[in-house]
Amino acid sequence: EAQVTQNPRYLITVTGKKLTVTCSQNMNHEYMSWYRQDPGLGLRQIYYSMNVEVTDKGDVPEGYKVSRKEKRNFPLILESPSPNQTSLYFCASSLGQVGRAEAFFGQGTRLTVV
Amino acid sequence: AQTVTQSQPEMSVQEAETVTLSCTYDTSESDYYLFWYKQPPSRQMILVIRQEAYKQQNATENRFSVNFQKAAKSFSLKISDSQLGDAAMYFCAYRSAYFGNEKLTFGTGTRLTIIP
């Protein structure tokens, strides 16, 4: 089954404690990205990757890091989380070709930073 | 930069009735895609319908259809014969059709309530 898998689905952590949210896709997609969802703001892109070892900032990259060492994996790293990073996070992937527009989303990760 | 606006934070409709959710967008590009995503309480993002800007014909998927007005930059979603399972947050989203630019720009969402 074609899917994007995020882990964990729920996470409560303390300010400053490094954490990683994993994302893996089994569709051989080239393009992957991370979004955060906040009430009244919709979803906003944090970082994206067009292929292995190619990453770039989205609209709200401050406080986040990513890596793309393998095509299927795109982890999101918060090296020193702060309460303003409490949010719902989504990983998404797509084929990376014109005309193949659909993005597939993971199940979401609810992060609370206290 | 592109923007997407959903001016209705909440809407409600009686079961079996029809409801229309509004979306407007701003772009200088001529080729792009527009989407409606549904987010039920499970939080999963589910693609409802998509529209290619170069197509004049409005997209339809069963009970879901869109009214795409390219000149007006408007992209509304009509849900016919509303069902209880349609209750969710709905997001309108924009994506450029140019290679390498696959970022989705989302609106702020419309929460749809179905009244039994």
pLDDT digits (tens, 9 = 90+) for B35-52: 999 999 999 999 999 999
Separation in Å, CA of A30 to nearest CA in chain B: 10
8 Å CB contact between A85 and A78? yes
Q: Residue B92: is its pLDDT beyond 90?
A: yes
At residue A95, the pLDDT reads 81
Residue among B8, B19, B41 at smallest CA distance from B115 = B19
Residue among A35, A75, A53, A54 at smallest CA distance from B95 = A35
8 Å CB contact between B77 and B21? yes
Residue among B65, B71, B61 at smallest CA distance from B24 = B71
At residue A18, the pLDDT reads 97
| Average pLDDT over chain B, rounded to an integer | 95
Separation in Å, CA of B45 to nearest CA in chain A: 6
CB contacts, 8 Å: A40 with chain B = 9, 108
Residue of A98, A110, A111 best to disrupt the B interface, most CBs of B under 10 A: A98
User: Of B6, B47, B109, which has the smallest distance from its Cβ to A102's Cβ?
Assistant: B47
Separation in Å, CA of A33 to nearest CA in chain B: 8
Nearest chain B residue to A30 by CA distance is B100
Residue among A56, A72, A68, A63 at smallest CA distance from A18 = A63
Mean of pLDDT values over B63-71:
97
Task: Give the residue carrying structure tokens 């992937």.
Answer: A93
Q: Identify any residues that bridge with B33 across adjacent strands, giving them in sequence order.
A: B52, B95
User: Of B97, B102, B109, which has the smallest distance from its Cβ to A42's Cβ?
Assistant: B109
CB contacts, 8 Å: A110 with chain B = 43
**pLDDT digit string (tens) for chain A, length 114 residues:** 889 999 999 999 999 999 999 999 999 998 999 999 999 999 999 999 999 999 999 999 999 999 999 999 999 999 999 999 999 999 999 886 656 668 999 999 999 999
